[in-house]
Chains A and B, each alone.
Chain A
Amino acid sequence: QLQLQESGPGLVKPSETLSLTCTVSSDSISSSSYYWGWIRQPPGKGLEWIGSIYYSGTTYYNPSLKSRVTISVDTSKNQFSLKLTSVTDADTAVYYCARHSVGGSPLKPFDYWGQGTLVTVSS
C-alpha cells in the first residue's frame, strides 16, 4: 500500500522560508506513470493546489503562488519537497502531499494523500 509522509518544521517565522519534504513508501517516485503534488488547507477553509512535479523534474505551479514556490524531487531518497518563500500569516495551513493517479499527467485526480502537516507562521 502506497504511503506518503510529510515532514518539516511546524512553525515558521514571517518572511522566512517554509520547507517540507514528502517521503514516498511502497512505490518508486521514479515511475513514469505518476505526478506528485502539494495541496494546502488553511484552518477551517478549503483546499488549494500549490503545484506538482514529475520524477524528471518537470513542474507545474499555481500562478497565485508561482513567484514564491519551488518543488523539487530527489529520486535517490524517494522524496519530493516544497519550498515557499517570504511566508506570511496567510500561509498558515495544513500542507498535504499527494499522488496524481496513473497517466503521467498533472491533469489527474489525487488518489493517495499524506496525512498532512500543520505549518503555523508566527513570530
Chain B
Amino acid sequence: DIQMTQSPSSLSASVGDRVTITCQASQDIRKYLNWYQQKPGKAPNLLIYDASNLEAGVPSRFSGSGSGTDFTFTISSLQPEDIATYYCQQYDNLPLTFGGGTKVEIK
C-alpha cells in the first residue's frame, strides 16, 4: 500500500494568513493526488484533483502543487469558513489511501 504522510497534523493561523500543508507519498504517485476539505459532522468535499486542478466552484484561494512523492496544499488567505480538516488522497494505485489529516483552526 502507498502510505500518505501529512504535516502538520494541526495548525492555528490568523484570518488572512497564508496556510501550507504538505503531503508525502511513500512512492511515486505521479500527479494522482487529491485534496479534500471536511468540516465537522460533514462529508469530505473535493477541492483539488490531479495535484493542482481546482474543482469547479472551489474558491481560488485554494491551490495545490507537486508531483512524484511531494505535494503542497495552500490557502492563500485564510478565511473563517476554511476551518476544517484537510486530507490528501492518492489514486495512482489501489488500494486508495488517505493522509492522516490536518486540522486548521483560527488563532
Contact = CB atoms under 8 A, between A and B. Distances in A.
Nearest to B97: A49
Nearest to A110: B46
Nearest to A63: B95
Nearest to B99: A46
B25 to A, nearest CB: 14
B98 A47 contact: yes
A10 interface: no
A46 B87 contact: yes
Question: For chain A, which range describes its interface: under 10, 10 to 19, 20 to 34, or 35 or more residues?
Answer: 20 to 34
A62 B94 CA distance: 8
B43 A106 contact: no
Interface stretch (A19-27, A76-84, A111-119): A111-119
Interface of A: 46-49, 60, 62-64, 96, 98, 101, 106-111, 113-116
Interface of B: 1, 32, 34, 36, 42-46, 49, 55, 87, 89, 91-101
16 contacts: A46-B87, A46-B98, A46-B99, A47-B98, A48-B98, A49-B97, A60-B94, A62-B95, A63-B1, A96-B44, A98-B43, A101-B49, A106-B96, A107-B91, A113-B43, A116-B43
